[in-house]
Chains A and B, each alone.
Chain A
Amino acid sequence: MKTKKILQCIIGVVTLLASSALADSPTVVKSYLLTQVTLQQKSTNALKNAARRYFDLVKAQNFKYTKLDAAATRKAVQEARVAWSKASPLYESVEGIVAGVEMLASFDLNLDAGSSAKDGGDAIVEFDLKLGNGQVLAKPGNAFGVIEGSLWGTEKTYSSGLPFDVDGNGKIDFGDQLPDAYVLQAAADKLDELTGQLLETAKKWNPTTADVFAALVANVPTAASVFIERWKTSRFVLGEKSTQRDFNVISSLNDLVQNISSWQNLYKGVTAGVKAKNAALDAQINTGLSSLKSWAQKLEAQEKTRRFTPEQAEAIGKEGENRATALTGRISQAAALLGVKL
């Protein structure tokens, strides 16, 4: 009996030590990443199924959208939208990790960050979309963006062009149209396929402290240069004047909030090491991340009731930049203290 108790004690101590060691290491980042992407995969799978049902409905009517059964169509499109709206923030919550880790970075390009060949720029997606009718959309833009453009009609070429009261509120307002069934189905398949590949690749990733710092230093500055900038030209600020094709359904500020969550989770992987070297710096970084997050959340709440003047929007962008610059600086100091060269 005594031996059993001693053994239990030893097992308890070992478990405690192992769990605390795990919490202190970059492994915690991987565990978070796998959990989130697994959840994302459930949603992309649901989206794929809903897109398939919608396609079957349209096909049954020989692709005559006007002949579709309104209730069944509304149900399929709504389900696809719900699944997309779940999958997108889940991805945003790991984007900071995916975009910052070399072996995963191309998934960010194809899932969420890459532009289309038509739009150009320095980050064009790698894939072509083969539609069921044999047509090929060469490098059409990131998978989330193509689906958003199709489901909400913000990209005319991905839409059927037929107005349809998707939300069933009796009015034709933003996003009320039917998607092109071929595009939606192919893009939903692609999104699900990429998510599955991301999950498999993430399982092979062995995170290091240097990986974590490199990802943070590469990502935190995007708070202003990408998310706030994107928000300034989105429908949430410019209203109907906005010409942006994606990031119109979920505000970029929400994306920023989700991204900050991924940065916080990334930082968890190194926080113990930084704290041991300089507790105040560690506290400063943790506070900086949570403060940036609450600032973005507050702004997201305000955008629903306020219209900012161009000068106010500029000042907000500047504040975002100041916060991101300070955070990046502090993270760089932490990396230097741990001997990580950036």
Chain B
Amino acid sequence: MLRFLVPILLLLSSFAFASEPSTAAEIVRASLSSAQTELSFDPASSQDLLLTAKIAYQNGLLGLGQADFSSLEKALKIRDEKAFAIATATLWTSILRGAYQQLEISLQKQDFNAARAWLLVREYRRATKFNPPETEATLAFEALAAKSADTKSTLLAIKADLLGTYQARLSEALLEVERNLKRNFGVLAAQNAALANGYFLLLEQGYPNAKLAAAKIAFKALVALPSTASLQVVQTMIRGWRAAPLSETERNKRAAQLMRFYSLIPVEYARGVKTENGLTQITRDLEIAEATAFWQGANAAFTDLESLLVQRNADLTASARANLQLVGQQLELASRKQPVSLAELQQAIEAGQKPLEQLIPAAWRATTASADLVVIRQHLGQLETALQQGAFEQAETARVSAYAVLESGVEARIKFFQPQLATEIEMLFWNGSNPLGLAKIIAEQGSLEQLRNTRRELLVKLEQAAKLVGTDTSPTATFVNALVIVFREGLEAVLILAALLGSLKRPEVRHLRRPLWVGAIAALFASALTFLIMRGIVNAFAVFGERLEAVVSVIAVVVLLIIMNWFFHNVYWNDRLASFHKQKHSLLGVSTGQGLGLLVLGFTAMYREGFETALFLQSLVLQSGVSSVLSGTAVALAAVTVVGVLVFALQTKLPHKKMLVFTGVLICAVLWVMVGNTVHIWQVVGWLPIHAIGNGFPAAIGLWLGTFATWEGILIQTVAVTLVIGSYFLAEGLKHRTMQQKAAAA
């Protein structure tokens, strides 16, 4: 009885109620899906559900024209599950197609109410860990409705969002056909083939006219008989085609994601496996899951870019695709506890990276702050999980990885635009005290609450940084950025060289200039080499950034102090004594040590800044290409050379005594900056404690004078310079006493 009543009631309700297109569409879709399930269990119930779908259509979707339910009715009558599944997919995609057309028409007519209603009849991309569903169409439409955008740009944004989504769904449907064929799931394979066909019909306007008829035939053949062969034909037909072109921003975002995520796969994998006696085992599931998440991110980005890449070079794209799939298979094996060795995975990764390097122009690879933020968030989440589990070593690895992404990415630009913010972020990552830095929390095995507090603060700062640098990656900005970085870092090194070389002008010590030059030039080459090696694997280098700088800096300071000791005690003192023979003897007696010392000084003075400069420049290359970075670097080097020459010229023009005083003052200034920066970097990496002074100094003081607002920094800088100056006055005092004693004796 009820079975007869339900349809009648539903039919009556259709005359009484008209519903929103989105509500009606969802009822049609859901009812047909349930009807399909019921077909083999309770066909009568299927019949009711089909009727529900029909009524819903009448109530809300008549604007799309009458729908053809006959295929569904026929399939239901003969209980043909496959035919029913195909008809369901066909009807559903025709609704999506009609809704999209209605949306365009409504927008052209400026009928916002209708447009808003039809915009809701759509599908969305599957949300991933890295990409929440797109909201461009919704926001563009609201901007148009609020009269803050024009129809043309709104239509473009809607087209990019919706057609991009349907193209992604088309790719997924084809993958599903493949998967279901492998599992002999005939109904599901046919249904996905019909879905793919429906999405293609929706997207066909963007398909080349010359091949359209053939493509339609290929899709129909796939629906009629899903097989590996018919699937391959379809895949070949659509390879390299994209219905809605990606905007430049979206293209760059995908390219940056692809390269970034791809390079992180082996980093994570290496932490999750170990190989002993030729046998590879999983040691950390979490790392394998992370590697897989990065692969999924890279694969999604590649899929979006594929059509553009094919246009550049079809063979290289095919090679990149094959390797990406191979890496995917290797990770799947690892998830089933049958891991391949790290070397094997790396081989596949490198084989995939090579064609991508050639395919993707540098201009596309702009490291967007948002892409980096996604990865940093991911690592910070991993850090929290590790800390929860008491796995402190793993937590530290996650922290260093997150910091490496920052340093190899946007940090260079943050330092340029907002040095204070860069310092704050640095302290949050390392050993800050309010809130506690992440490194400190991990080292002290702190609480989750402390970690979450710092993480929250860090994410706020990173969002600020992303806003700050996220809008400008123009070549001019990169040029200026590179120029300032190289000039600032180069100036410090050149001043030391100029000062020391200036003081080594006398013929008897002239030979000591050579090792200084050799060291400096060697460091210059080492920095250039570092820059070249870093290409493509900048992330791996960034992991060592701060600690390496801390070690090299302290070597530079120690050597500088030794050299200065010698400098003041011998050059100045002996010069005044005019005891040439004595001095020569003294110098010759220790020349090997001095030579080596000067060589080390020359090298460390340059390389301590050279490494970080190379790292930053490499990240700028990723953002805007090599030309603007090299131009900025060249101009900066020229400027640094000019400053060096000017210092030399000034030294030459000055009377000898004044030159010595000038050089001494210069070296003291350089020592002040070097010691300050060294103390700061030691505090950052947690090798020295931090006792802050008040609310801090302006960022420029830290940047140019190496003076940061901590008691340790000020104290050690003062002690270092006082020691050197004091030792000079001590020497002077001793000399006067000796002379007085000699005079008295005479």
Binds B, one of A37-45, A155-163, A191-199, A316-324: A316-324
A325-B123, A332-B133 provided; 18 other pairs, C-beta below 8 A? A106-B388, A122-B285, A122-B286, A126-B389, A280-B22, A281-B22, A283-B23, A291-B26, A295-B30, A311-B183, A321-B126, A325-B127, A329-B122, A329-B133, A330-B120, A333-B133, A333-B135, A337-B142
A330, B126: Cα distance in complex, Å: 12
Mask: chain B, 254-297; 1 = CB below 8 Å from A; 0 = not: 00000000000000000000000000000001100110000000
Q: In the complex the two chains form, is B285's CB within 8 Å of A342's CB?
A: no
Query: Contact partner of B124 among A103, A126, A291, A325, CB < 8 A?
Result: A325
Is B505 in contact with chain A by the CB < 8 A criterion?
no
Provide the residues of chain A in CB contact with B122, threshold 8 Å. Answer: 329
Is B132 in contact with chain A by the CB < 8 A criterion?
yes
Q: In the complex the two chains form, is B289's CB within 8 Å of A329's CB?
A: no
Q: In the complex the two chains form, is B41's CB within 8 Å of A326's CB?
A: no
A325, B389: Cα distance in complex, Å: 31
Which residue on chain A has the smallest CB distance to residue B390?
A: A126
Is B36 in contact with chain A by the CB < 8 A criterion?
yes
A316, B36: Cα distance in complex, Å: 10
A262, B432: Cα distance in complex, Å: 39
A337, B137: Cα distance in complex, Å: 11
With A288-B26, A336-B135 as contacts: A124 and B389 at CB distance below 8 Å: yes
Q: In the complex the two chains form, is A280's CB within 8 Å of B20's CB?
A: yes
Number of interface residues of A (CB under 8 A): 47
Provide the residues of chain B in CB contact with A170, threshold 8 Å. Answer: none
Is A244 in contact with chain B by the CB < 8 A criterion?
no
Is B385 in contact with chain A by the CB < 8 A criterion?
yes
Provide the residues of chain A in CB contact with B710, threshold 8 Å. Answer: none
With A315-B188, A323-B30 as contacts: A336 and B289 at CB distance below 8 Å: no
Is B448 in contact with chain A by the CB < 8 A criterion?
yes
Is B171 in contact with chain A by the CB < 8 A criterion?
no
Is B428 in contact with chain A by the CB < 8 A criterion?
no
The residues in B between 23 and 78 inclusive whose CB is less than 8 angstroms from any CB of A are 23, 26, 29-30, 33-34, 36-37, 40-41
**A–B complex contacts, Cβ < 8 Å, 5 sampled:** A126-B388, A295-B34, A319-B33, A325-B126, A329-B125
Q: How far is the CB of B282 from chain A (nearest CB, A)?
A: 8
Q: How far is the CB of A207 from chain B (nearest CB, A)?
A: 15
Is B138 in contact with chain A by the CB < 8 A criterion?
yes
Is A74 in contact with chain B by the CB < 8 A criterion?
no
Q: In the complex the two chains form, is B30's CB within 8 Å of A221's CB?
A: no
Among B22, B29, B125, B289, chain A packs the most CB atoms within 10 A around the CB of B22
A181, B108: Cα distance in complex, Å: 73
A337, B146: Cα distance in complex, Å: 12
Is B452 in contact with chain A by the CB < 8 A criterion?
yes
Binding site for B on A (CB under 8 A): 102-103, 106, 109, 120-124, 126, 139, 217, 221, 278, 280-281, 283-284, 287-288, 291, 295, 298, 302, 306, 310-312, 314-316, 318-319, 321-323, 325-326, 328-330, 332-333, 335-337, 342
Among B29, B126, B448, chain A packs the most CB atoms within 10 A around the CB of B126
Is B185 in contact with chain A by the CB < 8 A criterion?
yes
Binding site for A on B (CB under 8 A): 20, 22-23, 26, 29-30, 33-34, 36-37, 40-41, 116-117, 120, 122-127, 132-133, 135, 138-139, 142, 180, 183, 185, 187-188, 285-286, 289-290, 385, 388-390, 448, 452, 456
A321, B122: Cα distance in complex, Å: 15
Provide the residues of chain A in CB contact with B290, threshold 8 Å. Answer: 122
A123, B384: Cα distance in complex, Å: 11
Q: In the complex the two chains form, is A326's CB within 8 Å of B124's CB?
A: yes
Provide the residues of chain A in CB contact with B180, threshold 8 Å. Answer: 314
Q: In the complex the two chains form, is B285's CB within 8 Å of A280's CB?
A: no
Which residue on chain B has the smallest CB distance to residue A336?
A: B135
* B interface: dominant SS: helix
A82, B13: Cα distance in complex, Å: 44
Q: How far is the CB of B351 from chain A (nearest CB, A)?
A: 28
Q: In the complex the two chains form, is B30's CB within 8 Å of A336's CB?
A: no
Q: In the complex the two chains form, is B188's CB within 8 Å of A314's CB?
A: yes
A102, B34: Cα distance in complex, Å: 36
Q: In the complex the two chains form, is B138's CB within 8 Å of A337's CB?
A: yes
With A122-B385, A139-B389, A323-B30 as contacts: A106 and B132 at CB distance below 8 Å: no
Q: In the complex the two chains form, is A102's CB within 8 Å of B37's CB?
A: no
Q: How far is the CB of B334 from chain A (nearest CB, A)?
A: 13
Q: How far is the CB of B396 from chain A (nearest CB, A)?
A: 18
Q: In the complex the two chains form, is B188's CB within 8 Å of A311's CB?
A: yes
Provide the residues of chain B in CB contact with A123, threshold 8 Å. Answer: 385
Q: In the complex the two chains form, is A221's CB within 8 Å of B127's CB?
A: yes
Q: In the complex the two chains form, is A121's CB within 8 Å of B285's CB?
A: yes
Q: In the complex the two chains form, is A120's CB within 8 Å of B389's CB?
A: no
A124, B384: Cα distance in complex, Å: 12
Which residue on chain B has the smallest CB distance to residue A284?
A: B22
Provide the residues of chain A in CB contact with B188, threshold 8 Å. Answer: 311, 314-315, 318
Provide the residues of chain B in CB contact with A109, threshold 8 Å. Answer: 388
A36, B112: Cα distance in complex, Å: 42
With A106-B388, A122-B289, A316-B37 as contacts: A284 and B26 at CB distance below 8 Å: yes
Query: Contact partner of A284 among B23, B34, B187, CB < 8 A?
Result: B23
A120, B133: Cα distance in complex, Å: 30
Q: In the complex the two chains form, is B187's CB within 8 Å of A336's CB?
A: no
Query: Contact partner of B452 among A102, A284, A288, A322, CB < 8 A?
Result: A102
A121, B389: Cα distance in complex, Å: 12
Provide the residues of chain A in CB contact with B29, threshold 8 Å. Answer: 322
A173, B120: Cα distance in complex, Å: 51
Q: How far is the CB of A251 from chain B (nearest CB, A)?
A: 17
Q: How far is the CB of A95 from chain B (nearest CB, A)?
A: 18
